[in-house]
Amino acid sequence: MSDNLVLENITKTFGSLVAVDNANLNIAPGEFVCFLGPSGCGKTTLLRIITGFEHQTSGDILFSGKNLNNVIPQKRDFGIVFQSYALFPNMTVAQNIAFGLKMRKIPANLIEKRVEEILQLMGLGKWKTHYPAQLSGGQQQRVALGRAIAIKPNVLLLDEPLSALDAKIRLRLRIVIKKLQQDLGITLIYVTHDQEEALSMADRIVIMRNGEFRQVGSPWEIYKKPKTSFIAEFVGTSNFIEGVSRKDHIQFEKYAFKVSETYEADSKKVYLAIRPEDIEIVGLTIDPDHCTASNIVEVSTQLVTFLGPVVSIIVLLEGKEMIINIPQKIFEKQRIKPNDNLKLYFPPDAFHIYSDMFKKLM
């Protein structure tokens, strides 16, 4: 029997509040899946249901074909790393890592061998006799990870494990976690509200909003083909244009934009989304001969922000702010300044078209 973890019609309600709404997912052995969404979307509740710390209102959790609904957390053989490291302050690094093994009554000589393996794997050998208070946040998180994988879990579940760390440590630990998951071939479920974490680490991303799965796909699919205006905005950044659908174009103010994506041409209000990096600067990033004339617009720059590898430019298009991102190397060729006049090109195949617009306060 394959060691798939399967969620079947999982729903969780708290009174009238639906925290998780009919969630279905089949996670393959060795897959890295990320639950991504804003605070309060149900992702941590779903993780707690998988671990057994929360019981679903309806639906089934299956692992290797076995129903886990009535299996207590300790018997599920899942490793868990919480947002708070939950280390024992009166235990050394080695003792913290050994804790789960002792609870399983593993022989002492095997525990010692396994702890040494984990210390080396996590780069914690020098700190084995240190206590949590003597460690940095990044080191404490490594101990928590080491303790979770020491028991050789069937599935490793991480609940926003890097949110309390500074940016550079988060980046380093993302690499550690991804490499660890690949080297061990372990099934990993990762909960985060940080879209960069999800895009850089996961094999598949599950976008959650208001307790529902809104899109499931690879990082590339989620970023390049967002199914809703919410996903287009939440994952990365998008510029939105409100227009009216016509037979062969979308009308926005005086502009008649050609759009490659199919749509209903019935004079309805629609919303076009385009990524900042997909907008071209005519004569700088694209030759005018390669442009569809109707999709060229003239703008004035408002703000230029240097962000290292990328330069962000804010322009006004018919009174609406738009963001353009260009590589720093391109910016070096032409130092764009505020109040410069630019011609922008919106490629027809770079637009995504939506029939409605999400409300940011929801």
Do 189 and 88 lie in one domain? The reply is yes
CATH of the domain at 272: 2.40.50.100
Instruction: Tell me which residue of 256, 298, 251 sits closest to 271, measured CA to CA.
Output: 251
Do 306 and 222 lie in one domain? The reply is no
Q: Is residue 360 part of a domain?
A: no
- DSSP label at 28? P
Q: Is residue 104 part of a domain?
A: yes
Do 193 and 58 lie in one domain? The reply is yes
Q: What is the pLDDT along the chain (362 residues), one digit of tens a residue?
A: 478 999 999 999 999 999 999 999 999 999 999 999 999 999 999 999 999 999 999 999 999 999 999 999 989 989 988 877 789 999 999 999 999 999 889 999 999 999 999 999 888 999 999 999 999 988 998 899 999 999 899 999 999 988 878 888 888 889 889 988 998 899 999 999 999 999 999 999 999 999 999 999 999 999 999 999 999 999 999 999 999 999 899 999 999 999 999 888 888 999 999 999 999 999 999 999 999 999 999 999 999 999 999 999 999 999 899 999 999 999 999 999 999 999 999 999 999 999 998 876 43
End residue of a domain, out of 230, 249, 281: 230
End residue of a domain, out of 195, 212, 230: 230
Place of tokens 């306060």: 361
Q: What is the DSSP string of 169-205?
A: HHHHHHHHHHHHHHHHT-EEEEEES-HHHHHHH-SEE
Q: Is residue 346 part of a domain?
A: yes
Do 158 and 180 lie in one domain? The reply is yes
Instruction: Tell me which residue of 92, 74, 198 sits closest to 146, measured CA to CA.
Output: 92
Q: Which residues of 82-119 are buried (b: 16+ CB within 10 A; e: fewer)?
A: eeebebeeebbbbbbbbbbbeeeebeeeebeebbeebb
- The full 3-state SS of 242-288, as one line of letters, equals EEEECCCCEEECCEEECCCCCCCCCCCEEEEEECHHHCEEECCCECH
Could you list the beta-strand ranges (E) of 90-227.
155-159, 187-192, 204-209, 212-217
Instruction: Tell me which residue of 12, 14, 26 sits closest to 57, measured CA to CA.
Output: 12
Q: Is residue 359 part of a domain?
A: no
Do 223 and 277 lie in one domain? The reply is no
CA distance 208 to 294: 37
Do 23 and 168 lie in one domain? The reply is yes
Which tens digits make up the pLDDT trace of 177-233? 998 899 889 999 999 999 999 999 999 999 999 999 999 999 999 999 999 999 999
CATH of the domain at 51: 3.40.50.300
End residue of a domain, out of 212, 230, 248: 230
Q: Is residue 362 part of a domain?
A: no
Do 134 and 48 lie in one domain? The reply is yes
User: CA 328: distance to chain centroid?
Assistant: 26
Tokens of 199: 């895009």
Q: Is residue 130 part of a domain?
A: yes
Secondary structure (3-state) at 47: helix
CA distance 202 to 34: 6
Place of tokens 């639950």: 35
Structural domains counted in the chain: 2
Do 158 and 184 lie in one domain? The reply is yes
CA distance 100 to 144: 11
Beta bridge partners, 245, equal 250
Checking DSSP bridges between strand 310-317 and strand 32-36, what pairing results, if any?
unpaired
Q: Which domain holds residue 137?
A: 5-230
Do 187 and 221 lie in one domain? The reply is yes
Which tens digits make up the pLDDT trace of 61-94? 999 999 999 999 989 989 988 877 789 999 999 9
Q: Is residue 200 part of a domain?
A: yes
Do 20 and 50 lie in one domain? The reply is yes
Do 76 and 114 lie in one domain? The reply is yes
